[in-house]
Amino acid sequence: MYAPDEVGTGGRQVHGTILRSCARNVNARWLAAEGKCQMDEERQSCYLIGHSMHIGFFTDGFTPQLHGVATNLEALTDALEGRGDQVSLFAPRMGDYVDRRPGVYRLASVRAVRQPPLWLSIPVSRRVLRHVPRLGLDVVHTHSPFTAQWLALQATWRARVPLVSTYHTLLPAYVKTVKLLGRFVVPPGLAEAYSAWTCNACDHVIAPSAKTKALLEQFGVRRPISVIANGIELARFQGGARGYLRDRWGLRPTDRILLSVGRLTPEKNVGFLLAMLARLSPRAANVYLVLVGEGFLRKSLECDAQRLGIRRQVIFCGAVPHAEMSQVYADADVYLTASLSETFGLATLEALASGLPIVGVRDASLDGMLVDGANGFAVEPDAGAIAARLEQVLGDPSLLAQMRARSGEIALNFSVQAQAQQLLNLYGC
């Protein structure tokens, strides 16, 4: 059912008291269910000793996929293991992809959505459930609300450890754009109820932004919710050389590049960016909109660009390997975002760390990353208004330089090392 690259080596003593209050909740669940099971004394004593942890991550999104959750999990796992902690990661098998990272367990899966690609783990696996308790995990942390979470819930009952969940994906917005198994449409109201159910099945919930926390409370989540922003490896995006995009697409050094990174699907609102460029184009023939990402709307967006008379100025790059993304950001002048469905924009954070001004539609998910007037502009969803702000930034070299510097400063608050430390503090609260 799964193919571990490296079998875990058993439990180790852990950091702090690892969600002591959550451990009480877990004990209560076991007692209610079995009338006898309690957390063993050895594990409870381990919570009180400040040593490294063994963390189990469960997710339906991981490499080789190219999206924010997969990217963050790679960086977060590196950061935790760099501190001396151990991570065992459970993710669906995706075709014939073979992991190079040790400690990854690939689960039997089905491809539930073709575009954007989504594999779902088979949520019942006796072999996995037998093996997880032998790993000696100290906490299980899910990063997907789908079937990986169902399997994780069963695993915590078997391993008798707390369950933490990060709510990465705003499901009511996501389900509007996909059909499960190519045919089933999920109503947004059902997605809200499902979000509440999966979160309430956990001991603690993590929201990547205050916006996400507020929405979860509206959905009916009653479990404790902590806000912990996702982080990145900042050094990867600093000091990159220009030329990656210009060389590939024949752009001149004097051309201006507006960059947007994300799936070409309705919730990303890419059509709004095309409307903005159409407003800007008559006065800025040397400005190009570069779209990095794939999705089922690509052909439709290409037709829209043609209809608006801006096809020459819109470059569809398709998917770019994450290892090359630092070069993409380095070659851009301004980063654009128009999505209103983000829980936390990781691509926006990468642009921030690359020293790019951010110009986008005002949204609470950008709080803390986009300071209006300092490192960019947050604008109401009006194509003409955003075009005017872009003219202001691109037409003033001094302002552009100031905003670049400020973006780099703000990005320092979002390192993946800081995220890892906050998680360890939570696990040990």
Residue type, 38: Q
Residue 7 clears pLDDT 80, i.e. is over it: no
Quote the pLDDT of residue 100. 80
Measured CA distances, 309 to 155, 256, 290, 337 (Å) = 55, 18, 16, 22
Closest Cα partner for 342 from 119, 118, 143, 173?
173
Instruction: Please give the model's pTM, rounded to 2 decimal places.
Output: 0.82
Domains and CATH numbers, the chain: 20-227 (3.40.50.2000), 234-413 (3.40.50.2000)
Quote the pLDDT of residue 360. 94
Mean predicted confidence (pLDDT) in 335-349: 92
The DSSP bridge pattern shows strands 376-379 and 358-361 to be: parallel
Quote the pLDDT of residue 85. 95
| Distance of alpha carbon 94 from alpha carbon 110, whole angstroms | 9
What is the band of 116 on the pLDDT scale with cuts at 50, 70, 90? low
Q: How far apart are the first and last CA of the chain?
A: 35
Give the DSSP letter of residue 214: H
Residue 220 clears pLDDT 70, i.e. is over it: yes
Residue 112 clears pLDDT 90, i.e. is over it: no
Quote the pLDDT of residue 26. 47
| Distance of alpha carbon 327 from alpha carbon 68, whole angstroms | 18
pLDDT digits (tens, 9 = 90+) for 14-55: 334 445 455 445 444 433 333 333 444 444 444 444 568 999
Quote the pLDDT of residue 115. 62
pLDDT digits (tens, 9 = 90+) for 145-167: 888 888 899 889 888 999 999 99
Name, of 146-150, 261-265, 313-317, the range with top average pLDDT. 313-317
